[in-house]
Every structure is written in structure tokens, then in C-alpha cells.
Amino acid sequence: MTIYFGDIHNHCGITYGYGSLKNALKMAKEQLDFCSITGHAMWPDIPKRTDKLNYLIDFHEKGFKKLHDNWNQIKNTIKKANIENEFITFQSYEMHSSKYGDHHVLSPNDDLPLIYSKTPSSLYDDLYKYNRIIIPHHIAYTPGYRGINWDYYNEEKSPIIEVFSKHGCSISDRSPYNYYHTMGPRDSRNTIYEGLKKKKQFSFAASTDHHAGYPGSYGDGKIAVNAANKTRNSIFEAIKKGYTYAVTGDKIKCHFTVNDAIYGSKIQPTKKRHIYLDVKACDFIEKIIVYKNLTPFKTIYLENFSYINKNYRKYKLRIEFGWGKSTTGYNWNGEISINDGTILDVETCFRGRSVLAPTKDLIDNENINNLNNHIFEQSSNHITFVSNTVKNPSPLHPLTNSIIVEVNGNEQTTLSVSLNNKLVSHKISELLTGVRSCHIDDYNSEAFTISCIPDDFYEYSNQWIDYEENTTNDFYHVVIKQLNGQMAWISPIFLNA
């Protein structure tokens, strides 16, 4: 089985988002294995019109009509973008619901019809001829304000739930990434942990909910799927089985089993539980918590790691670039070279212009996120790429881009980075002492940094035996946090009596 990363809930100008569908698919293909582009389709219990709500209702109704009028063309474009074993697409559209919470349909069927229903559950039933699921998202909003309604949740119809997006994290009311959208705050009654306390069984997903045509925009959420191969049928069936987990941005690779059953599984209870965890992160692992029934079973901190072998052979080098004052976009031309080492893997961390909802002052532009983020050449010791960044909106909100390069080498291995004719070279022995930075111009200019992590700090593997049966329905899940703030939430494994 292989882990594939995707974004199955994001928006563009096919409804009330921004940017063209063509560009959205282009950006998705640059750094994802699969995606769907979601159209806003309906809101059966939309609030009544008032002077305060006229704008909100108008842009929703206009967006719904736009999707309806162009649905066949949209489906066909998404169908043509699907290339088996290369880049996978799914059909998708969304229903808002004040009472039941927002859901989006996901289907591998290219003839999926646009059907109007009164509830998410009835929409699923009305689509009985098609292979589909409905996915609740941004579930932690106040009950009645488009947060989930656990009384009506159905795990067969919704085997996965979105736990993270640009809206924030819905795991609990104490999780990082609080809700700060105009839709309101989190409410503990509608969190993931509340659903698990109610003995609901589901797996975790994340997607960006980006509204300007940049699926997979770094830091806004991705879903990881453990599937046999990169085909539409294989990935969709793995999603239906719940073989998924959620990441914020970095593609943290995880393998987690109980009695050899992977995350998302429902297995028979035993008195002896063999728990296995393997993590390959992208930054320093700050903390790993293995939970049993929402209570920490094992907690591993960075300072608890045991470093026996100091003769490191693998390193992750992160080249991060951006900063500056440009609001229109700054173009980067870059080269990365490795001397006395070999490139094992490359991961792009590209961001799109950040848009979550329409505003009166934002004018639609189909090229809003047609950004020149692309790796041109990649070999065993050389990478060439282009990218585009804008200034950070505040000192605490980055819009930088990054490229992560995993290298097989030693402390004498040399990394050379050339960005816009600024060339710097550092041995790994130097980079292990800390981050190095370089500015393009004299002051207040764009800049880039280079950091290095040896494998003992980003890889972790362990196993435990649990002999204690606490309930007739025990379950285990895992939370991983890196020092750079990026996280992963591994779906539960349920032991069903």
C-alpha cells in the first residue's frame, strides 16, 4: 500500500469562488496525487433576507445558478483531467445546511447529476445510482450555524469527516488552529472528540476549503490516503474504507496499526493489542501522542528521543523563500545542487493567494492563482524550479514557499542554492548548527533560508503491547506535531465487540 496526498474540498470560480477551473486543476497537479474541485450547489434552509444578509444571500444564489448552468461542462473538464496512475480527479459539489451542517458529495462517477435535496442524508439517498459519499466539513461551528448535527450523523454515508481546513481545526475546542472565520467560533458540542464520545465511528480527512482555485495550498490541509495504487477506483475505495488521515501542510508519512489492522479499520477486540507506529515527518518531531479512548496511552517528546547512532546518512533540507514587500507577486528562479550526496525525495510546499470567502472589494480574476510554481528538472543531484510569492500579511501569517529535499549523504555533503543569482553553499556540518539566511537586496527585500534535520529527528518507529481492555468499544488514534507547527491526525482504529 502507498500513501497518496490530495485535496477533495476546495473551490474556484465555477461558483462563488475565484479563479478558473483550468488553473485550479493545473495547480493541483503540481503537488497533489488527486483532487476534486467542489462547486457550491445549494442551501435548502438559507436564512431569510434582511438588509444585513442581502449580500450574503445574493452571492450564494448567484454562485448556485452559475454551477447549475455550467455543470455538464464542469464535469467534462474534470473528467478529462483524470489520468490513471498519474493524477486522479473526482466529481464533487457542496450542500450548505444550517441544521445539519455543511457536506460535500464526492464521487468517481463522471456522470454524477446535480440533484437538489433538502438534507445531506436525502441527497446521498437521491444519488443511489452512483458511487458516492458525503463528507461533513468545518463541523465545529455552533449548532444551528452550519456545524455538524451528531444526532443525524450516518457513518455509512459519511465514513470520513474533515477535521482541518482554512476554517481551522475541529478535533476539540482546545486544539491548535482555532476558528476565526466570520462564520463564528468553535463549539465543543460539535467537535470530533464529541462525536467519538458519542461512539460514532469515522476516519479523519483534511482539505483546504480554498476559494481561489489553489487546491493543496500549503498549510491549509490535505488528506492522506493509503491505497493500493494511484487509480480513481483504488483511491476512492480506500477513502470509503476510511484508510485516511489528515495533515495540515507537510506530507507527514504515517503507518499505524493495531493487531496489524491499519487506521480506519474496525476489528474484533482482543485482550492483547499489538500497537505499531512508524512516522516519517518533514521537520523536527516535537510530540507524538498515541491516544486510547481519547486518553493519552503513550506520549513521546523530542527530548525523550534516544539518539544512539550519530553517523547520520539521511537529512531533510528545507529551502524556504519569500518575505519582501511585494503585493503583486515576486518571481523566483532557483537551482539546488548537491555535491557528495544523492537526492532521495523532493516535496514542494507551494501556497496560493489566500481566499476563504467572497468579499465586496474582491474582484473575480480567473488568473488570481495561476502562479508560476513549478519544478522543471529533478535528478539525483540537481533541481531547477520557478516560484512566485507575495509579502507575508503579518509577522505571524506566512505566505512563503518551500522545497524540501531529502538527501543521502554525510556531514561533508554540500548544498548549493542559487535564487535570482544569489548563490550560497553550505556543508551539512554547518547547517546542523542552525538555519542560514540570505537576502536578495540590501534591506526590506525578499529572502530565503536553508535548514537541515538529520533523520533521527524526523523519523520515529515504535511498538507497544496493551493488555488492558477498558471498554467493549476501545479505539486508538494518534496526533503528531512538528516544531514548525505542522501536524497530522491519524484516524482511529476501532475494536468493536
pLDDT in tens, 321-375: 999 999 999 999 999 999 999 999 999 999 998 887 777 777 778 898 999 999 9
pLDDT band for position 237 (50/70/90)?
A: very high
203 has pLDDT over 70:
yes
User: What's the first-to-final CA gap in the chain, in angstroms?
Assistant: 27
Is residue 53 classed as helix, strand or coil in its secondary structure?
A: coil
pLDDT band for position 226 (50/70/90)?
A: very high
120 has pLDDT over 80:
yes
Q: Report the percentage of the chain scoring pLDDT > 70.
A: 98
CA dist., res. 67 & res. 107, Å (int): 17
CA dist., res. 18 & res. 12, Å (int): 5
> Do the beta carbons of residue 386 and residue 229 sit within 8 Å?
no
| pLDDT value at residue 309 | 54
Q: What is the pTM for the complete model shown?
A: 0.97
Q: How far is CA 198 from CA 153, 179, 352, in A?
A: 11, 23, 37
Task: Give the residue from 444, 453, 457 showing the smallest Cα distance to 319.
Answer: 453
Domain ranges of the chain: 2-249, 314-454
Interval 149-164: pLDDT, tens: 999 999 999 999 999 9
Average pLDDT score over the chain? 95
Lowest-confidence segment of 92-101, 260-269, 362-371, 409-418 by average pLDDT: 362-371
pLDDT band for position 38 (50/70/90)?
A: very high
Task: Give the residue from 66, 63, 71, 65 showing the smallest Cα distance to 16.
Answer: 63
Interval 424-471: pLDDT, tens: 999 999 999 999 999 999 888 999 999 999 999 999 999 999 998 777
* 54-81 and 21-31 helices, crossing angle to 10°: 60
Task: Give the residue from 301, 323, 349, 347 showing the smallest Cα distance to 483.
Answer: 301
| pLDDT value at residue 310 | 61
The domain 2-249 belongs to what CATH superfamily?
Answer: Metal-dependent hydrolases (3.20.20.140)
> Do the beta carbons of residue 390 and residue 329 sit within 8 Å?
yes
Interval 289-317: pLDDT, tens: 999 999 999 999 987 765 555 667 899 99
> Do the beta carbons of residue 140 and residue 187 sit within 8 Å?
yes
Interval 43-90: pLDDT, tens: 999 999 999 999 999 999 999 999 999 999 999 999 999 999 999 999
| pLDDT value at residue 354 | 84
Interval 261-274: pLDDT, tens: 999 999 999 999 99
Nearby residues of 469 by Cβ (< 8 Å), 6 or more positions away: 269, 271
| pLDDT value at residue 497 | 66
Taking residues 376-397, report their average pLDDT: 95
